[in-house]
Structure 1
Amino acid sequence: MSSPSGASLFTGFTRLCKGLAVVLVCGYIAVQIFPSVLTYVALIPARTIPFGWNLITAGYIEQTVQGVLSSTIGLLFIGKLLEPIWGSREFLKFIFIVNFLTSVCVFITAISLYYVTMQENYLYMPLSGFSGVLSGLLVGVKQIIPDQELSLLKIKAKWLPSIMLLVAIALSFFTIEPAAYLPILIFGTYIGWIYLRYFQRKQETRLKGDPSDEFAFSTFFPEFMRPVIDPIASIFDRMLCGRSEASNDARGYTVGSAPLPGSDPIEATRRRERGARALEERLATERLTAVGAKSKTDESDIDASENV
């Protein structure tokens, strides 16, 4: 007999995530049936001009079975958590921005590596995959439920992006072409953080970003490294905080010494509380479903024994 709790784990996926999962699967199948399509939809730096659309399409094309499986599963489960909190429009916007800017950064990196090393494989290597967006979505999980412990991994959610990058960097020493995936993961993580930290607009307050100390760049690193990371990160923080209203709002609106209602740090705390509450409600629903199914099973067993 199948486990009721296991069945509930694989339900509740959003319609948008299901649609994007279909796109990933269809893209993989198309590349396997028609390999020549890869030259038009993957990011090949030497062909990006005039085929500029590959800066968008490359993120939705997986070239391996493990790639399409991990991307599809990750999208469905992470999307089930983030999309109800962000909203479908903001969730899709985040995916588009992270995907596009990650491709732009990977393109610039590949061109730079070519001019440094003069190796043409950096120009003609087909780069693609949804892993950059997934790494950005993990940053969203870190923001929403940082202190939530994952029962399977026994680690807090705030360490997921850091562990993913650490594993990817470690594996790069044992793989033939680390440039095919490592820049995508690094830029996806960083761009996801940049967008959530400085530019994501909250519907309730119309303010931008998440300036809380718990979401600072140094929180991606162990505690003992933060005194070294913080001064470096503050340089980029001052550059990006030169933007319009978000720069001063980041430290909270004040009149004298009293913060005004709706200041950004308070909103960041509320958003984390909403994320934790949504996760708890989902887990409670799954437990109730499992208990209900178990009671029905027990009743059927009793009826069967009475009939015997």
Structure 2
Amino acid sequence: MSSATQSTNLLTGFTRLCKGLAVVLVFGHIAVQISPTILSYLALIPARTIPFGWNLITAGYIEQTVHGVLSSTIGLLFIGKLLEPIWGSREFLKFIFIVNFLTSVCVFITAISLYYVTMQENYLYLPLSGFSGVLSGLLVGVKQIIPDQEFSPLKIKAKWLPSIMLLLAVVISFFASEPAAYLPILIFGTYIGWIYLRYFQRKQETGFKGDPSDEFSFSTFFPEFMRPVIDPIASIFDRMLCGKPEGSNDGRGYTVGNAPLLGSDPIEATRRRERGARALEERLATERVIGAGAKSKTDEPERDASENV
């Protein structure tokens, strides 16, 4: 198959929902460039959030820079093409809304806390916005569904994508001339996305809730040598949120006392990852299927002629 055909297949298959959200991001960026005063009403400005509470929702869809809107729209289209068919459009949109809103709430609380600690007013009046928090949460979804899938050309496994993104963001923040306002958005977006997928996402086909598997535990975001330190801390949150006893690996999932918590089936979590891997393999094999179909059509007249003879 020609490279032109491969490029065409790569740029097709985007879902209608993701294309609609991409249009919102692009028009939001254009609106801010045309009328910068809009930023005062739509971006998250902690000092004005109390009267303008809607900016906890709108801030996530306002990109202030060109590279921000480009990375957000491209990431949304390609990640959405993978996740939305597996989750369903309703669940995909629900995930975006929850991660966006709760990320804004956490950023707001952090900014207010930093102001009271440092008494610097720039924490109150710095406009914060961007889709990067949702995008980092969607990367956690990719980590959950196809953790061992490698992406070319660096052969990076999907399970490390959220961690690598956060590491790069932290490193870049040390060299930035201005405060890295995007950093708390990325951190909270990743964490909120993981909490929702770990404990609360309900699967329509089974009714199961969350993903209690060890392969999706909080410590998997960190290198192997750090996990003995991270696991005891993470187990505290496991017990708080769902009553999973520390060191429980009996395959029953989360428990309350000795009773299994409804919907916490690690077998179903494994099945979801297998479905995600199959969906990706089918998408990557589309080119080969199209090529085989075209070849069969050209060979069909020859077969008919031989049968007639």
Q: How far does the alpha carbon of each residue in 1:261-304 deviate from its partner, in whole angstroms, 9 at most, with x for none?
A: x86111001100100000011111123336778999xxxxxxxx
Q: Once the 2 structures are TM-superposed, how far is the Cα of residue 202 of structure 1 from its aligned partner?
A: 1.1
Give the equivalent residue in structure 1 for 2:68: 67
Give the equivalent residue in structure 1 for 2:82: 81
Amino acid at match of 1:251: R
Distance 2:30 2:15 in 1: 23
Q: Secondary structure at the match of 2:275?
A: helix
Q: Once the 2 structures are TM-superposed, how far is the Cα of residue 120 of structure 1 from its aligned partner?
A: 0.6
Tell whether the 8 Å contact from 1:5 to 1:290 is kept in structure 2 after alignment: no
- For 1:180-259, list aligned pairs within 5 A: 180-242=181-243, 251-252=252-253
Amino acid at match of 2:195: I
- For 1:1-308, list aligned pairs within 5 A: 3-242=4-243, 251-252=252-253, 264-289=265-290
Amino acid at match of 1:279: L
Specify every segment of 5 or more residues in structure 2 that has no aligned partner in the other structure, as ranges.
Answer: 298-309
Aligned length: 290
Q: How far does the alpha carbon of each residue in 1:60-89 deviate from its partner, in whole angstroms, 9 at most, with x for none?
A: 000000000000000000000000000000
Tell whether the 8 Å contact from 1:41 to 1:57 is kept in structure 2 after alignment: yes
Q: Which deviates more, 171-180 or 21-30?
A: 171-180
Give the equivalent residue in structure 2 for 1:306: none
Q: Once the 2 structures are TM-superposed, how far is the Cα of residue 242 of structure 1 from its aligned partner?
A: 4.2
CA root-mean-square deviation: 2.7
Tell whether the 8 Å contact from 2:147 to 2:159 is kept in structure 1 after alignment: yes
Specify every segment of 5 or more residues in structure 1 that has no aligned partner in the other structure, as ranges.
Answer: 297-308
Q: How far does the alpha carbon of each residue in 1:206-227 deviate from its partner, in whole angstroms, 9 at most, with x for none?
A: 1210000000000000001000
Work out the percentage of aligned pairs sharing the same amino acid.
Answer: 88
Q: Once the 2 structures are TM-superposed, how far is the Cα of residue 177 of structure 1 from its aligned partner?
A: 3.1
Distance 2:143 2:254 in 1: 25
Q: How far does the alpha carbon of each residue in 1:150-182 deviate from its partner, in whole angstroms, 9 at most, with x for none?
A: 123311000000000000000010113344100
Tell whether the 8 Å contact from 1:210 to 1:250 is kept in structure 2 after alignment: no
Q: How far does the alpha carbon of each residue in 1:126-164 deviate from its partner, in whole angstroms, 9 at most, with x for none?
A: 000000000000000000000001123311000000000
Q: Secondary structure at the match of 2:175?
A: coil
Taking a change above 3 Å as real, the CA distance of residues 268 and 119 of structure 1, as seen in their structure-2 partners, is same
Q: Which deviates more, 148-157 or 42-51?
A: 148-157
Runs of 4+, deviation exceeding 6 Å: 247-250, 291-296
